[in-house]
């Protein structure tokens, strides 16, 4: 059966499960009083769109109007001047529908219309000459009984020249043929196996994996409940689509296992040649932890096929482990032989499509000696008290009482991905003090959670800028400059919220001390001399660090990095590895040189429970939480903790969050990071074949969406003005900021090929050859770059590699702007 028929047959589930959620026939409950309850069923309606015979972009509803620029999870192609909307009301009565079209930045409402009687299928008229001349944001509002409104968002675009039908059909065929392991159907010819592909695991499969991995090996997959199609990008060059689905596969310990899967495609159709190409492919799968099947062995807890970086925490005595698997939080207690499903948005049978919306993350925050756990749920709330809201919910699991208590909810009007990055950077809850600590927009708040319904929010420090503070991965430590600006502070305050201890890091007169990050409990910082203040080749003023130090919790410096005439601008952290972005001084200008690396040689904490991989022939690489002394009973009692209810739970809002100018990286259908500088964002997006967007939703960069050759025309005066100002010694970033009204972009670190997209937008790019010499890139062919020599004004050509070599002396510094 092909995917279209399966979508039609499966449809969107119309039954609402009234039975209590998470109830298994064998679940027992203990230690709960009358003030507990289950989370409750999902109640909101959903909408989707008909597109070229496919049902796409199944949208979940929001409880309030959202920040429009951040709502870019999907894009819906529009053919002609109408859009076919499908409404799945479930048990809701739709009293009225209205919809509006906004510019991407949300500042202008271009169109609005109401539909009094909205049935299951509605045609949305989108008339107006310029309405679809660019990408827009469509807002749909359904009015329900009880004076409730539910909001839905998607970008929309004119798809007349996008070959959407051909792209969707190609993806459908590839997906079906891979599942069926159908030989000779083009799957093998479309992929690009090489050394980048990891053929030892089914958890992550890419276009560079071999044929056996892409076609699921011997797992014999069968999709359950149908695929959910989400169109992420579409233009005349390519279409990107993500499929989400559950898949049942042949098992080992069990006859079958069920997985959550995401499958991403980026394809291009060339109409003249009637040929469609697979540009990128990425598939992930994670086994759903099912206590009705065998999940324990004599060695430990069997997780099966899952990611290598499983979140887990262990009690002090090594008997209890809490772990996150497939967006669910579980707790296993060896001593009592009990397995608890602490948190999940899925319903009991995992069948209500609304509860399967993959727009949230569960993060472990702390675990104490008894195995009690503090955790957070970030993103879109599928059901429960905060259904339809986006934010961060803080919970405390009491293992003795077998209950989960919501401590606080931090609300946001941003999309799931943005909220995770903006609010998830620092949220920590102290069980002992019943205090919540939150960093938002450079302000650190202390919230008294004990005063239910009477939010007490105090400011510990405010006005911190990017780079002035850092937070540990688990949120229990923060360090911030406490007595001045980024380039002036001589003191750093370090706070450990877990034990309440504070300490200071200071520097000598004439120096500046700057926080860089944490490696576990060790603090990493840098020291600079104010006399070393200078500028990068792009014109940015910097105070580079002449030494970098690692300090342990007892204020002892355990490692120092310092090299003569070498300075550090930034540091990136990956577990124990620290990457230092370095520069060398040339007069008063700093030019980039190769990165260097330092590691923290702290001893790994030993535990009786640890994550271990093992390999089998059928399922290949798998993981288990291994108990060093083994497990005797393999059939645990399964518990479902109740949720403790309060009449007025603590709700926190931050209405004044500043939408600072940042670069948002989207790849494989999701937000992959937020960056200060365009160069770093483009390099990250290039890894995902993705896009970079500004805070106002302007495209900064796209992989591949450009002409094969292009020459900037009609901007001779602008290019000449840039040349004259460069010759006069003006800073490149200042020049581009003035031309673009403060939309200058620093692309330092990019390759020449990565900048072709920018040139294709008729934006000249300054390429610095060293601290004082430059050229201006003005066009390209498939193999060469056209440029103007800044000093002489001569027009020349060079290969991509030639330009890369020419800019080595500046650390590959490029400067442009966005429109």
Q: What is the structure's pLDDT at 25?
A: 34
Q: Is the pLDDT of residue 36 over 60?
A: no
Contact 11, 86 (CB under 8 A): no
pLDDT score, position 521 = 84
Evaluate if residue 17 carries a pLDDT over 80: no
pLDDT of residue 349: 58
- What is residue 659's predicted lDDT score, i.e. its pLDDT? 53
> What's the confidence (pLDDT) of residue 348?
60
Query: Can you give the pLDDT at residue 316?
Result: 86
pLDDT at residue 10 in the model: 41
Ordered domains of the chain (ranges, CATH): 42-73+80-158 (2.60.40.10), 164-287 (3.10.450), 475-519+521-601 (2.40.128), 663-702 (no CATH), 710-817 (3.90.70.10)
Determine if residue 759 is left, alpha or beta; phi over 0 gives left, psi from -120 to 50 gives alpha, anything else beta. Answer: alpha
- Percent of the chain at pLDDT > 70 equals 92
Indicate if the pLDDT at residue 12 is higher than 60.
no
Averaged pLDDT score across all residues of the chain? 89
Task: Please tell me the predicted confidence (pLDDT) of residue 452.
Answer: 58
Residues 665, 666, 668, CA angle at the centre, nearest 5°? Answer: 140
pLDDT digits (tens, 9 = 90+) for 293-302: 999 999 999 9
- What's the rounded mean pLDDT across residues 552-570? 92
Whether residue 575 has pLDDT greater than 60: yes
Which pLDDT band holds residue 722 (cuts at 50, 70, 90)? very high
- pLDDT tier for residue 660 given thresholds of 50, 70 and 90: low
Q: How would residue 815 be classed by pLDDT, with cut points 50, 70 and 90?
A: very high
Angle at which helices 732-740 and 716-727 cross, to 10°: 150
Per residue, the 3-state secondary structure of 741-808, as one string, reads CCCEEECCCCCCHHHHHHHHCCCCEEEECCCCCEEEEEEECCCEEEEEECCCCCEEEEEHHHHHHHCH
15 has a pLDDT exceeding 80? no
Q: How many CA atoms lie within 13 A of 694 on its CB side?
A: 14
Please answer whether residues 388 and 44 qualify as being in contact, where contact means their C-beta atoms are separated by less than 8 angstroms: yes
Q: Note the pLDDT tens digit of each residue in 327-361.
A: 999 999 999 999 999 999 886 655 778 878 888 99
Single out the residue of 498, 500, 466 nearest to residue 480, CA to CA. Answer: 466
Overall average pLDDT of the 466-470 stretch: 91
Who wins on pLDDT, 698 or 281?
A: 281
Report if pTM > 0.85.
yes
What value does the mean pLDDT take over residues 765-789? 95
Residue 451's pLDDT band, with cuts at 50, 70 and 90, is low
pLDDT at site 655: 59
Residue 14's pLDDT is 35
Residue 505 vs residue 454, higher pLDDT: 505
pLDDT for 19 beyond 60: no
What confidence category does residue 1 fall into, taking pLDDT thresholds of 50, 70 and 90?
Answer: very low
What digits encode the pLDDT tens for the residues 674-694? Answer: 888 899 999 999 999 999 999
As a dihedral over the C-alpha atoms of residue 101, residue 105, residue 106, residue 110, rounded to 10 degrees, the angle is: -40
Residue 615: which pLDDT band, with cuts at 50, 70 and 90? very high
Which of these, 236, 331, 241, 323, lies nearest to 286 by C-alpha position?
Answer: 323
Answer yes or no: is pLDDT of 795 > 80: yes
CA atoms within 13 Å, Cβ hemisphere of 535: 13
- According to the model, what pLDDT value does residue 28 have? 35
- When pLDDT is cut at 50, 70 and 90, the band that residue 120 belongs to is very high
Over residues 226-239, the mean pLDDT reads: 95
d(CA 568, CA 533) in angstroms, rounded, equals 13
């Amino acid at each position: 059966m092909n995917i279209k028929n399966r979508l039609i047959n499966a449809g969107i589930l119309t039954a609402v499960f009234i039975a209590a959620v998470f109830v298994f026939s064998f679940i027992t409950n203990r230690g709960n009083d009358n003030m507990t309850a289950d989370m409750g069923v999902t109640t909101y309606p959903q909408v989707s769109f008909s597109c070229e015979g496919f049902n796409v972009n199944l949208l979940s509803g929001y409880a309030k109007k959202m920040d429009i620029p951040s709502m870019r999870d999907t894009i819906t192609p529009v053919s002609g001047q109408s859009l076919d909307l499908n409404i799945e009301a479930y048990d809701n009565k739709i009293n009225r529908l209205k919809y509006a079209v906004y510019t991407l930045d949300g500042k202008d409402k271009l169109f609005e219309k109401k539909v009094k009687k909205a049935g299951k299928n509605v045609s949305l008229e989108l008339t107006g000459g310029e309405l679809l001349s660019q990408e827009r944001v469509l807002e749909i509002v359904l009015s329900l009984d009880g004076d409730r409104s539910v909001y839905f968002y998607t970008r929309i675009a004119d798809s007349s020249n996008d070959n959407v039908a051909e792209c969707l059909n190609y993806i459908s065929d590839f997906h079906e043929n891979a599942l069926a392991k159908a030989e000779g159907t083009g799957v093998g010819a479309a992929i690009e196996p090489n050394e980048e592909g990891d053929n030892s695991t089914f958890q992550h499969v890419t276009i560079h994996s071999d044929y056996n991995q892409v076609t699921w090996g011997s797992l014999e997959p069968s999709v359950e409940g149908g695929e959910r199609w989400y169109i992420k990008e579409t233009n005349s060059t390519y279409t990107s689509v993500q499929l989400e689905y559950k898949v049942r596969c042949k098992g080992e310990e069990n006859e079958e296992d069920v997985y959550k899967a995401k499958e991403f495609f980026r394809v291009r159709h060339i109409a003249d040649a009637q040929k469609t190409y697979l540009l990128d492919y990425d598939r992930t799968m994670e086994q759903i932890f099912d206590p009705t099947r065998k999940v324990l062995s004599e060695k430990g807890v069997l997780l099966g096929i899952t990611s290598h970086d499983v979140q887990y925490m262990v009690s002090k005595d090594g008997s209890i482990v809490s772990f996150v698997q497939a967006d669910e939080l579980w707790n296993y207690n060896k001593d009592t032989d009990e397995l608890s499903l602490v948190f999940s948005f899925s319903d009991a049978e995992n069948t209500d499509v609304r509860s399967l919306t993959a727009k949230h993350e569960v993060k472990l925050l702390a675990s104490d000696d008894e195995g009690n756990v503090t955790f957070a749920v970030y993103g879109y709330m599928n059901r429960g008290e905060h259904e339809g809201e986006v934010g961060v919910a803080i919970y405390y699991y009491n293992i003795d009482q077998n209950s989960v208590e919501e401590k606080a909810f931090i609300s946001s009007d941003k999309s799931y991905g943005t909220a995770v990055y903006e609010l998830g950077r620092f949220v920590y809850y102290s069980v002992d003090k019943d205090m919540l600590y939150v960093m938002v927009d450079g302000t650190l708040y202390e919230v008294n959670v004990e005063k239910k319904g009477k939010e007490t929010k105090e400011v510990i420090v405010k006005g911190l800028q990017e780079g002035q503070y850092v937070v540990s991965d688990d949120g229990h430590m923060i360090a911030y400059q406490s007595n001045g600006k980024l380039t002036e502070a001589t003191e750093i305050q370090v706070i450990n919220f877990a034990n309440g201890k504070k300490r200071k890091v200071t520097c000598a007169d004439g120096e500046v001390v700057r926080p860089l990050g944490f490696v576990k409990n060790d603090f990493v910082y840098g020291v600079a001399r104010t006399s070393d203040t200078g500028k990068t080749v792009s014109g940015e003023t910097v105070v580079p660090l002449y030494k970098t130090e690692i300090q342990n919790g007892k204020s002892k410096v355990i490692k120092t990095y310092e090299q003569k005439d070498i300075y550090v601008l930034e540091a990136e952290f990956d577990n124990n590895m620290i990457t230092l972005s370095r520069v060398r001084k040339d007069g008063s200008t700093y030019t980039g040189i190769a990165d260097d690396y330092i590691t923290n040689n702290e001893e790994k904490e030993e535990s009786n429970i640890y994550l271990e991989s093992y390999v089998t022939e059928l399922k290949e690489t798998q993981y288990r939480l291994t108990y060093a002394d083994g497990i005797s009973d393999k059939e645990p009692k399964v518990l479902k903790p109740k949720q403790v209810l309060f009449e007025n739970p603590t709700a926190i809002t931050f209405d004044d969050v500043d939408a600072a100018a940042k670069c948002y990286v989207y790849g494989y259908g999701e937000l992959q990071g937020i960056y200060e500088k365009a160069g770093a964002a483009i390099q990250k997006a290039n890894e995902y074949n993705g896009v970079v967007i500004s805070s106002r939703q302007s495209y900064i960069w796209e992989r591949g969406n450009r002409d094969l050759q292009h020459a900037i025309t009609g901007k001779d005066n602008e290019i000449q003005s840039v040349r004259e100002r460069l010759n006069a010694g003006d800073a490149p970033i200042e020049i581009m900021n003035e031309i673009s009204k403060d939309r200058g972009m620093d692309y330092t670190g990019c390759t020449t090929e990565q900048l072709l997209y920018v040139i294709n937008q008729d934006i000249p790019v300054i390429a610095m050859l060293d601290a004082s010499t430059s050229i201006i890139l003005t066009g390209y062919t498939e193999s060469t770059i056209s440029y103007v020599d800044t000093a002489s004004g001569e027009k020349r050509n060079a290969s991509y590699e030639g330009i890369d070599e020419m800019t080595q002396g500046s650390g590959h510094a490029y400067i442009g702007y966005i429109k």
